[in-house]
Chains A and B, each alone.
Chain A
């Protein structure tokens, strides 16, 4: 009897595993299709937007009214297929065949560069600096943005969750009202304004406590490892603070709202009636039910990691991804905008997937489903 039960159990498990695998594959296929859709959409919107990248390139060279920019523009348009039909431009971007004049001979190219494009994990080269691969520059920018944003997000969650829980526990008290008002105010303050105010207060015009420019001192090359770390910390303090407070306010408000609801639920009432310690009731019973809205937010964490903050990066002169995308858009550098958008879209999908997994982890009903 026991043996039969075990066999049935295994059979169900195998069958479930197959279904799960198919489910995962379907989910993966859906996400790839979404990513493909995003690439088509962004590509079309970008090309439909007014502005001409060849004019930006031509004018970066000189603003003296001479005729000499026209040949450069003509070459640029030819190299980037800007006069070709949009579908051809898209398939050139998508790859794997290079459809440019130097591309695959099947498509009329000279055969110097047969393959390329997104399917070859090639984001192309920058329009303004043709010797710079977008993927390389993006990696350099990520090395600035990701650590800063990661610290900001961890700080925001690390502070916001206890704060939200404390407010919910003291619902209606002075502490709750004061904190809620403060959080609302913080949430309403635009990041660029906060950054400028921080600059005035803590910079050389004010107290002169903190450096404002970039992530390293002008003499960073002469500093030892410890001094270098301190220097980095001092430079990163304000950008991280400015990136943190908005998320902190939002997550704390979300946590409070979810906890208020959870603390009034039947299970919490039952836990209290069983005489459990209050801390255990709050964190074990109430918080585990209130965590779901926070899990939804996790989906937005990964894209935020790469997106960074354009304004904060601009004000503190941080060469991050947000600024890269912004500058790319201003110059109509299609390769830069496509790369940053697609990486962001891909990470959004990964974030949503992580969020689904965490939901299943925390909620046995979903896991069983």
Chain B
């Protein structure tokens, strides 16, 4: 074995040991001893090039300095699906979002390391409250006072910049809606990638499309149902007024998909310059033509720019081929200091994992973040070709697996039965043997990167003896000597539905099946291809189903747990049919709580109760494993989606084809 191989193996071993230590620390903490346990532990340090072999610590624990970045070059990133469109208002797929991180900007950004909202195309914003009074105005509507509302004894004080505070007695107040008026101040130096200036008209138009039922933005429409009014205060100031307090209100507005009004808005004075044929054809048919809402809706739905994207980001779309999408760095970006190093990013569509690995070795792609456990720890990443060209690493994205119990089935109605089943899952064994330690046992529907995730919940452990006690106490024991537990003449037998082709589900189901069989429970594993599997969940036609979620930064638990989504045919994602009035109440209180700390406390309480009720058998958040070309530096495993920022990647100074200056 060569020195290089030994070094690589040592590096891998060090990382694995570090990983195991971190995971052990994260999952064995004692909630009583650590009151601040809700803070997410650092699972993978955010340091640039943390996994890069040229940057590993020496005997003294010191890392070599990072190389000097250069400008230029190309990065090819593997994607496993091509997006239907890049218009995020119409298509919210994960791959679209990943591309738009480099191609586009939003009103406010999310700090990839802390998760906080930070300035983006809006450099300032103000959030104010609304005090709704008992008295009504001339139109009969309740008078609304806007400002920072505080309590002073029995009175409310409404403060607004440059105005005298208003005191309102409590008796005159109908309701207080916190954080319902949001004003964004836009930067004045932002341009669309076609050179047109970006201003408040674009924001107003972009938000207005959600009120047009013809636009195919149903998946985003609920984000704007709560918008009461939208005002353009001046060319660079926009104010949104919300109907009621919503903990995600600011986040939803900040994430608004900005569209260039001069291209999409049929009534924009500049529109005819960009699509004269459309307007001419319409006016030829009817000289007095004015765009209707339906025409506007269809125009947005079918607009060529949905693919030939005109954005605000540091990279501009240059090519959309059958198997890849390519973007080139755009010199007109308003914040060149964070505008990326490489000249070209190509997202290469490769559906097949084996082919993607082969392409990585052949140099056809530079980055693949869907490395399987077998490849990560196996011969693939130990081959000379791989070690010469690539390195590997992992990060924790917000995703988790679970087994949903159909609570409308008599078998799973008893919480003790569900807890017993959870104790028959060999978490430690599977984590050690299948995931090789790179997975975290989760206890909540909130993402582990969020403060809404409660790290103080002690996860259930594999405990067959305790499970046996619970099952026996619940009346499930073998009465007829056939080796199966039974009750009321019915054996303890059920079917676990899994998705065809999911190796993880197959492996976990087989191990679970084995443990259940030892306890006299028969579980049949039935694999369904995705569409059928999804239909069975949606119609509640299953006993138990193994699946996973990719949660947003903070989950609104309503869709998962509120009783109004418990029955088949009503929509939502409460596949279990979980219904608990106390949980409903907590959800409704949490949804209207805009104070982060208070809301997190509610979500923690909700998480504890849900975990105690076990409608899901919560499983793991597995590490996402990746392989990256060694010639690329600057990779950081970030806590928040997309978990890495291509615009921070670079080739070291001196790499052929690169230069020291940004300008080409």
Report which A residues bind B (CB closer than 8 A).
50-53, 55-56, 58-75, 128-131, 140, 196, 199, 203-205, 208, 211-214, 218, 314-317, 319, 330-332
Contacts and interface: CB of A to CB of B under 8 A. Distances in A.
A62 B92 contact: yes
18 contacts: A50-B531, A52-B534, A62-B219, A64-B549, A66-B556, A66-B559, A68-B223, A72-B218, A72-B219, A73-B571, A199-B358, A205-B361, A205-B380, A208-B362, A211-B362, A317-B350, A319-B322, A332-B531
A235 to B, nearest CB: 11
B550 A331 contact: no
Give me the 7 closest cross-chain CB pairs, A-B, nearest first.
A51-B531, A70-B571, A204-B361, A71-B218, A72-B218, A204-B362, A67-B559
Given A56-B534, A59-B534, A68 B218 contact: yes
Contact of B531 (A52, A68, A199): A52
A331 B532 CA distance: 10
Contacts of A55: 531, 534-535, 538
B445 A61 contact: no
Contacts of B323: 214, 317, 319
B551 A199 contact: no
A330 B529 contact: yes
B573 A140 contact: no
Contact of A314 (B351, B358, B558): B351
A50 B559 contact: no
A223 to B, nearest CB: 15
Nearest to A219: B74
A29 B219 CA distance: 47
A245 B221 CA distance: 53
Given A68-B218, A317-B323, A332-B531, 20 more contacts: A50-B535, A52-B535, A55-B538, A60-B84, A62-B93, A64-B549, A64-B555, A66-B552, A68-B220, A72-B216, A73-B571, A130-B216, A140-B322, A203-B358, A204-B361, A208-B362, A213-B358, A213-B364, A315-B355, A317-B352
Which of B534, B550, B552, B555 has most chain A Cβ within 10 Å?
Answer: B534
A63 B549 contact: yes
A197 B360 CA distance: 17
A71 B222 contact: yes
Interface residues of B, number: 61
B181 to A, nearest CB: 24
B569 to A, nearest CB: 11
B410 to A, nearest CB: 25
B364 A199 contact: no
A65 B358 contact: no
B415 interface: no
A317 B361 contact: no
B318 to A, nearest CB: 11
A199 B219 CA distance: 41
B128 interface: no
A58 to B, nearest CB: 8
Contacts of B358: 199, 203-205, 212-213
Contact of A204 (B220, B306, B322, B385): B385
A216 B221 CA distance: 41
A68 B534 CA distance: 16
A332 B560 CA distance: 26
B573 A65 contact: yes
B23 interface: no
B85 A131 contact: yes
Contacts of A52: 531, 534-535, 538
Contacts of A62: 92-94, 219, 550
Interface in B365-401: 380, 383, 385
A131 B84 CA distance: 9
B347 interface: no
Contacts of A319: 322-323
Nearest to A217: B364
Nearest to A314: B352
**Most chain A CB neighbours (cut-off 10 Å) among B301, B363, B364:** B364
Contacts of A51: 529, 531-532, 534-535
Contacts of B348: 218
B362 A213 contact: yes
Nearest to A50: B532
B548 interface: yes
B543 to A, nearest CB: 17
B234 interface: no
Given A130-B216, A205-B383, A65 B555 contact: yes
A55 B530 CA distance: 10
B352 A315 contact: yes
B91 interface: yes
B107 interface: no
Contacts of A70: 571-572
B359 interface: yes
B306 A212 contact: no
Contacts of B364: 211-213, 218
Contacts of A63: 548-550
A314 B352 CA distance: 7
B112 interface: no
A203 B385 CA distance: 11
Interface string B182-223: 000000000000000000000000000000000010111111
A199 to B, nearest CB: 6
Contacts of B573: 65-67
A47 to B, nearest CB: 13
B264 interface: no
A69 B537 CA distance: 15
Nearest to B221: A71
A318 B572 CA distance: 37
A51 B528 CA distance: 10
A204 B302 CA distance: 42
B93 A60 contact: yes
A196 B531 CA distance: 28
Interface string B79-91: 0000011000001
Interface string B298-334: 0001100011000000000000001100000000000
B565 interface: yes
Contact of B362 (A196, A212, A314, A316): A212
B342 to A, nearest CB: 14
Contacts of B560: 65
A71 B217 CA distance: 9
Interface string B50-78: 00000000000000000000000000100
B596 interface: no
Contacts of A61: 91-93, 219
B219 A69 contact: yes
Contacts of A69: 219, 571
A79 to B, nearest CB: 9
A365 B271 CA distance: 71
Contacts of A128: 84
A99 to B, nearest CB: 19
B531 A65 contact: no
A171 B556 CA distance: 75
B354 interface: yes
Nearest to A63: B550
Nearest to B355: A317
A65 B534 contact: no
A93 B383 CA distance: 53
A62 B354 CA distance: 26
Contacts of B532: 50-51
B306 A75 contact: no
